[in-house]
């Protein structure tokens, strides 16, 4: 077992004992050198929850909090991130009007914000569809995203967004209007060209260069933990694995590791990252 003297943080991972490897995947992360992880709630449908109201999302959130507790028993530090997946708009609007779908999603985000206020979760998650949608769906999705930003401002917490590939430059303006610092809006699966805070997939080729420039970014696996899609994603070990690989090859320093996995995480999410 490798035990680095610095934190190794995955800021976007899913662990799903019902549909995936569950705690075994978290143990893989730990054994590979991982220390802290941001456990992101899964889309409602992946837990067979079909929300008719915002309150129905609490089943998804309670499950995430329960899984977080299970993972903590391994010794890992777990920060839950709760929210409503942007693709829910397409699923929900098969069963209800677009306006109602947006309302259910906003109410679901309100429910998530209650967990942040209670200290059970550290951040919210929202976004807009990363796939082609009609202008009406895009408008409704931006409305939901604006609501998530308002909640992040109220709760003084970070917001992870799942959105289309690219910089999402307009979201910086939306964040400013809501009063959320742009460096607390985390672009999940981000790229260096975003004005938001980029969370880079662990194997992103720009990591060593950005570290050298002291550009703030964090790292994620976006591991989905679904046995039905084993090859669909990077594995749970990818953040520690790529970090240690870059360190061992001399492309990043131990100081860089502290900055990426400790200091930057603390600044963006307002959590304490201790190690040692
Ligand atoms: Zn994800």
43 Cα: distance to centroid of ligand 1 (angstroms): 9
245 Cα: distance to centroid of ligand 1 (angstroms): 23
φ, ψ (nearest 5 deg) of residue 192: -65, -15
Residue-wise pLDDT tens digits, 126-172 = 999 999 999 999 999 999 999 999 999 999 999 999 999 999 999 99
pLDDT score at 231: 61
233 Cα: distance to centroid of ligand 1 (angstroms): 10
Is the pLDDT confidence value at 276 over 60?
A: no
- Cα distance between residue 140 and residue 128, in whole Å: 9
Reduced 3-state DSSP string for 82-102: EECCCCHHHHHCCCCCHHHHH
Residue-wise pLDDT tens digits, 5-25 = 899 999 999 999 999 999 999
Counting Cα atoms < 13 Å in the Cβ hemisphere of 211 gives 24
86 Cα: distance to centroid of ligand 1 (angstroms): 11
Ion ligand 1 residue ranges (Cβ < 5 Å): 222
Residue-wise pLDDT tens digits, 70-96 = 999 999 999 999 999 999 999 999 999
């Amino acid at each position: 077992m490798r035990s680095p003297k610095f934190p190794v943080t995955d800021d976007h991972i899913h662990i799903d004992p019902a549909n995936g490897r569950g705690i075994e995947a978290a143990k893989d992360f730990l054994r590979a050198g991982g220390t802290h992880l941001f456990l992101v709630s899964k889309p409602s449908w992946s837990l067979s929850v079909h929300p008719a109201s915002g309150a129905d999302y609490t089943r998804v959130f309670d499950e995430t909090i329960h899984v977080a507790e299970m993972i903590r028993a391994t010794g890992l530090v777990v920060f839950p991130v709760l929210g409503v997946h942007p693709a829910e708009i397409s699923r929900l609007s098969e069963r209800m009007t677009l306006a109602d779908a947006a309302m259910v999603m906003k109410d679901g985000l309100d429910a998530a914000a209650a967990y942040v206020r209670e200290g059970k979760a550290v951040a919210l998650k929202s976004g807009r569809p990363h796939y082609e949608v009609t202008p009406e769906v895009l408008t409704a999705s931006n409305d939901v995203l604006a609501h998530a930003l308002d909640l992040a401002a109220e709760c003084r917490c970070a917001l992870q967004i799942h959105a289309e590939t690219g910089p999402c430059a307009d979201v910086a303006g939306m964040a400013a209007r809501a009063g959320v610092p742009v460096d607390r809006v985390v672009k999940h699966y981000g790229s260096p060209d975003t004005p938001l805070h980029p969370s880079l997939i662990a194997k992103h080729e720009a990591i060593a260069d950005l570290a050298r420039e002291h550009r703030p970014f964090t790292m994620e696996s976006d591991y989905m933990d679904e046995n039905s899609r084993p090859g669909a994603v990077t594995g749970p070990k990818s953040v520690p694995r790529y970090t240690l690989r870059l360190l061992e090859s001399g492309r990043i320093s131990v100081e860089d590791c502290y900055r990426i996995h400790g200091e930057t995480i603390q600044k963006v999410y307002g959590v304490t990252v201790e190690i040692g």
